């Protein structure tokens, strides 16, 4: 059972790190693509696009905070044999 926890901890850390990098990478491309969309929009659609731009800008940060960090903490907890690694609310993101 201990070897399974170690493997699961390693997988949690690897996939959380990958998710962090992916969201940071995608976060770099949201503003330029939305700026291009705003330059192509009609004047009546600009307020709606500004609202969408303000909402979409925070999606990578929200994913990183609520999903990736929880998995990273759970993976490190499993590897270090801490209680937080065995907590199903952290492992499965159940409130």
CB 75 within 8 A of CB 12: yes
For the chain, the structural domain boundaries read 2-91
Residue 81: its pLDDT value, please?
81
Using only C-alpha atoms, the chain has a radius of gyration, in whole angstroms, of 18
Q: What is the pTM of this model?
A: 0.67
- Give the range among 24-28, 53-57, 86-90 with minimum mean pLDDT: 86-90
Q: 2, exposed or middle or buried, with CB in 10 Å at 0-12, 13-18, 19+?
A: exposed
Residue 23 to residue 17: CA distance in whole angstroms: 10
pLDDT level of residue 88 (50, 70, 90 thresholds): low
Measured CA angle at 47 (ends 45, 50), to 5 deg:
110
């Amino acid at each position: 059972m201990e070897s399974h926890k170690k493997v699961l901890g390693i997988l949690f850390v690897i996939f959380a790190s990958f998710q962090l990098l992916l969201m940071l990478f995608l976060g770099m491309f949201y503003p330029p693509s939305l700026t291009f969309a705003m330059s192509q929009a009609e004047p009546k659609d600009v307020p709606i696009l500004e609202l969408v731009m303000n909402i979409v800008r925070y999606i990578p940060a929200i994913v990183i905070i609520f999903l990736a960090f929880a998995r990273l903490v759970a993976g490190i907890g499993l590897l270090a044999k801490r209680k937080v690694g065995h907590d199903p609310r952290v492992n499965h993101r159940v409130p």
